[in-house]
Amino acid sequence: MDSVSFGKRVFNSVLIVALASLVTFFFPNWVFALLASALIGLGLSEFFGIVEKRGIAVYRYFGVIIGVLVPVIVYFQMGVEGYSTLEPFFIVIACLFLFVVQFTKRDPSQAVSSIAVTTFGLLYIAWFLSFAVKIKFLPQGALLVGFLVLVTKIGDVGAYLIGSAFGKHPLIPRISPKKTVEGTTGGLACSVVAALLSKSYLPEFPYGHLFTLGLLLGILGQVGDLAESLIKRDCEVKDAGSNFSGFGGVMDVIDSLLFTMPIFYFYLQVVMR
């Protein structure tokens, strides 16, 4: 990466972190939910766009609209008493509607792939990312969201910098030629260190849990990055989009968070409870 591209990447990193921190720590939960909706809408639009380049027909506009509504549904489910079953009901209705729409088409070809890929996009991007809203509603929710993003993204940055400087052994070249064993190992180490240092603002978290979370989130962040690389490689595109100069698209920014968010939520609710 040349100095200009690297400079854009750093600038956009600071801008994104500043915006996310502002919304997370200083704005009410409904603004946070709207930010999640915006990221999901842009991410789904990119995902459906690159899948269509692969020749797979999807319900693009329906998928984006439903995806944008998922964090809003989660917001009402978490914030308003009596809506605890709203989220699964909404997902079932969305899947049912996809089949009903397909019934109206004369040509049944690609019915399975269209429904499957649209549903996968909703689960992979909209539902997984909406767990950020659930985490935000937990006690100390803003700090927990900050911890999650910090540990995951520090691992991203560490993997990139260490891989660029010392990487010699490719990790999985058929999926992501530039990722190296050295970069992956360095990224995991950075995530663990960032998690342990978070003890200063999460004093009630034992070091054992912080170490486990650092390792777990670091691994899941790398898997999320590789998962998006696999999708792009299959669809023969370099970047998911061009919404962020120096990064590519929204999916290129949120890919490492898609698996860490739901797993972190379940860890807090099951393991630490």
Average pLDDT over residues 13-42: 87
Q: What pLDDT is recorded for position 264? A: 97
Q: Tens digit of pLDDT for each residue in 144-175?
A: 999 999 999 899 888 888 888 887 888 888 88
Under a CB-based contact definition with an 8 Å cutoff, are residues 172 and 226 in contact? Answer: yes
Distance between CA atoms of residues 72 and 93, nearest Å: 16
Distance between CA atoms of residues 246 and 242, nearest Å: 9
Which residue range(s) make up the domain with 206? 3-271
Under a CB-based contact definition with an 8 Å cutoff, are residues 271 and 141 in contact? Answer: no
Q: Residues near 259 by Cβ (< 8 Å), separated by ≥ 6?
A: 128, 220, 221, 223, 224, 227
Lowest mean pLDDT among 21-25, 40-44, 203-207: 21-25
Reported for 100-105, long-range contacts at CB under 8 A and 24+ positions apart, including other chains, are 101/59, 101/62
Average pLDDT over residues 81-109: 75
13 pLDDT band, cuts 50/70/90, is low
Which has more confidence, 80 or 133?
Answer: 133
Q: What pLDDT is recorded for position 84? A: 60
In sequence order, what are the beta bridge partners of 192? none
Angle at 47 between CA 224 and CA 8, to 5 degrees: 70
Q: Is the pLDDT of residue 125 over 90?
A: yes
Which has more confidence, 140 or 18?
Answer: 140
Q: What pLDDT is recorded for position 245? A: 52
Q: What pLDDT is recorded for position 1? A: 47
2 pLDDT band, cuts 50/70/90, is very low
What DSSP string runs through 190-219?
Answer: HHHHHHHHGGGT-TTS-HHHHHHHHHHHHH
Report the percent of the chain where pLDDT is more than 70: 87
Helix (H, G, I), strand (E, B) or coil at 171: strand
Mean of the per-residue pLDDT values of the chain: 85
Burial class (CB in 10 A: 0-12, 13-18, 19+), 208: exposed
Which has more confidence, 241 or 233?
Answer: 233
Per DSSP, 169 falls in state: S
Query: Diameter of the chain by CA atoms?
Result: 61
The number of domains in the chain is 1
Average pLDDT over residues 44-70: 90
Pick from 111, 114, 131, 113: which is nearest to 123 by CA? 131
Lowest mean pLDDT among 184-193, 225-234, 240-249: 240-249
Ranges 63-77, 100-114, 173-187, most confident: 63-77
Distance between CA atoms of residues 222 and 168, nearest Å: 18
Ranges 16-20, 73-77, 88-92, 259-263, most confident: 259-263
Under a CB-based contact definition with an 8 Å cutoff, are residues 155 and 217 in contact? Answer: yes
